[in-house]
């Protein structure tokens, strides 16, 4: 790239991925390919760079009027995005308003690091999944559930999420355990608690939400096995039968009068949609109970991640993007925005492709610079697995020989992007690898 001014042609460059924009149109995450001023007059290195923070845009605006961006390496212009969402935008305008709720992001300060609590949090995850699987089996056999046992597991999860939600986000995104058929319910319940903590819900409401989300699909245990294990789209008659799980769940829970009525409301309404196209009652907008909206969002996010076998898994950042496109249709926008806020642009435990061609794993969020987290570089630029991961703080790379920035999520399921030896990257291989060495036995162990 030469140190010269770019073409005065305001349109698209010869390459479809190169666009000339005014500095007023720039967005965080865009990749700047060329400037209309001399590179030597700016603090940016020649060769292109990602816009990582607002200060980058402000500096560019002082030196340039226009720049060229590469849409293959970064965020697309806002107009291009709008052109792709015209149908969704029309549907969004027709959707009813949802009732807003008070948000207090500072209600629960982080009091322990991931390293300090990861072993205990991991045990809590395993316990919740095991306890719920036992209750699901009891329902299939026609036996009574042990709800006090579930509530004890739920209490432990809530206390641990309050201490540091990022620990649980990491564990859910790198879960090394083989998934049982009922695990998605336990995982959705934990996602719901993470979101509830983010908005500052009181702990007693978190417990109602967690229990309700955990039991939301309990009626599935009373469906024929062929429906429970169904993969892919339902036929019309199958879908009508599948919908019965809500009715079965409500009937089942009615035999436990000590449960809060809001647990029943969650089970009854966790498939309702903001636009009224859900089931069973086609409730819309403010008619849907608040906690049921949290449960619905948690389940949809979990399904997108693919943990219950419905199609191929979606990287967490892509799942969040899909949810955001459904704002005001399936869910209130306010809740999706808060989920994105606590998860981060690239959630910890997710694989990302770097501008250097390398593949990395997100280890820690940077609250000041969301596009520059701490990562572990796992491969070289040819996708060859390194002998050992290299930990890099993208916000503080110092005099590193390689200037790295995030380009996109890495879809490890895509066979065309597998590693040189034919294997594939899996975050589950690194679940407990980056938080010190564990010393001790069982709950008496510590990490150094």
Give the Cα-Cα-Cα angle 173, 343, 396 (nearest 5 degrees): 95
H or E element: which one contains 127? helix 114-141
Of all helices (H) and strands (E), which one includes residue 94? Answer: helix 86-94
Residue 11, pLDDT score: 45
Question: What is d(CA 94, CA 92) in angstroms, rounded to the nearest whole number?
Answer: 5
Q: Is the peptide bond before 280 cis (omega within 30 degrees of 0)?
A: yes
Radius of gyration of the chain (CA): 24
Q: Where are the domains of the chain?
A: 18-80, 114-343, 351-439
DSSP 17-55: TEEEEEGGG--TT-EEEEESS-GGGSSSPTT-EE--SHH
CB 362 within 8 A of CB 375: yes
Which pLDDT score is estimated for 417? Answer: 47
DSSP state of 327: B
**Among residues 126, 123, 129, which one has the least CA distance to residue 183?**
129
pLDDT digits (tens, 9 = 90+) for 348-362: 999 999 989 999 999
- Cβ(386)–Cβ(360) below 8 Å: no
Contact 398, 409 (CB under 8 A): no
Residue 163 near residue 67 (C-beta atoms within 8 A) = no
For residue 100, the SS3 value is coil
Q: What is the CATH number of domain 114-343?
A: 1.10.3210.10
What would the DSSP string read from start to end of 247-287?
A: HHHHHHHTT-TTS-HHHHHHHHHTT--TTS--SSS---GGG
pLDDT at 230: 78
Residue ranges of alpha helices (H) inside 332-407 are: 333-343
Helices 316-325 and 333-343: crossing angle in degrees, nearest 10, is 160
CA separation for the pair 429, 156 (Å, rounded): 26
State pTM to two decimals. Answer: 0.80
Residues (pLDDT < 70) of the chain are 1-15, 79-95, 98-99, 307-312, 412-423, 439-446, 448
Phi/psi at 222 (5° precision): -100, 5
Rounded distance between C-alpha atoms, residue 73 and residue 300, angstroms: 29
Report the SS3 class of residue 82. Answer: helix
Burial degree of 331 (CB within 10 A; 0-12, 13-18, 19+)? buried
pLDDT of residue 412: 60
Instruction: Output the pLDDT for position 4.
Output: 44
Which own/partner contact pairs does 253-257 have at CB distance under 8 Å and 24+ positions apart? 253/215, 253/218, 255/144, 256/145, 256/147
Q: Would you tell me how many other CB atoms lie within 10 Å of the CB of residue 337?
A: 12
């Amino acid at each position: 790239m030469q140190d010269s001014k770019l073409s005065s042609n305001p349109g698209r460059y010869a390459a479809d991925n190169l666009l000339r924009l005014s500095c007023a149109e720039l967005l965080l995450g865009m990749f700047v390919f060329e400037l209309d001023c001399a590179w030597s007059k700016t603090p940016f290195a020649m060769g292109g760079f990602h816009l990582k923070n607002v200060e980058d845009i402000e500096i560019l605006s002082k030196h340039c009027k226009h720049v060229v961006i590469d849409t293959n390496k970064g965020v697309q212009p806002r107009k291009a995005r709008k052109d792709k969402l015209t149908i969704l935008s029309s549907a969004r305008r027709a959707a009813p308003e949802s009732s807003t709720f008070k948000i207090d992001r500072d209600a629960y300060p982080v009091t322990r690091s991931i390293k300090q609590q990861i072993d205990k949090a991991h045990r809590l995850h395993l316990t919740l999944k095991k306890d719920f699987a036992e209750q699901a089996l009891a329902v299939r056999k026609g036996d009574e559930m042990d709800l006090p046992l579930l509530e004890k597991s739920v209490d432990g999860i809530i206390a641990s999420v309050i201490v540091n939600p990022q620990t649980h986000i990491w564990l859910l995104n790198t879960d090394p355990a083989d998934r049982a058929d009922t695990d998605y319910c336990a995982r959705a319940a934990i996602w719901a608690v993470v979101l509830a903590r983010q908005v500052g819900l009181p702990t007693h409401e978190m417990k109602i939400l967690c229990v309700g989300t955990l039991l939301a699909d309990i009626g599935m245990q009373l469906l024929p096995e062929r429906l429970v294990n169904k993969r892919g789209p339902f036929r019309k008659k199958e879908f009508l039968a599948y919908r019965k799980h809500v009715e079965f769940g409500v009937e089942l829970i009615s035999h436990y009068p000590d449960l809060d009525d809001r647990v029943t409301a969650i089970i009854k309404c966790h498939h309702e949609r903001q636009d009224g196209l859900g089931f069973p009652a086609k409730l819309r907008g403010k008619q849907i109970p608040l906690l049921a909206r949290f449960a619905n969002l948690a389940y949809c996010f979990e399904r997108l991640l693919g943990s219950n076998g419905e199609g191929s898994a979606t990287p967490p950042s892509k799942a969040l993007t899909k949810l955001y496109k459904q704002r005001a249709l399936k869910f209130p926008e306010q809740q999706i925005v808060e989920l994105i806020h606590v998860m981060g642009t690239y959630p910890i435990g997710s694989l990302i492709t770097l501008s250097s061609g390398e593949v990395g794993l997100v280890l820690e969020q940077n609250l000041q610079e969301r596009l520059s987290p701490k990562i572990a570089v796992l491969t070289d630029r040819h996708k060859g697995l390194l002998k050992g991961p290299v930990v890099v703080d993208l916000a503080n790379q110092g005099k590193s020989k390689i200037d790295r920035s995030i380009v996109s999520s890495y879809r490890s399921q895509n066979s065309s992007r597998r590693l040189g030896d034919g294997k594939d990257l899996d975050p589950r291989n690194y679940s407990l690898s980056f938080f010190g060495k564990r010393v001790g036995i069982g709950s008496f162990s510590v990490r150094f």
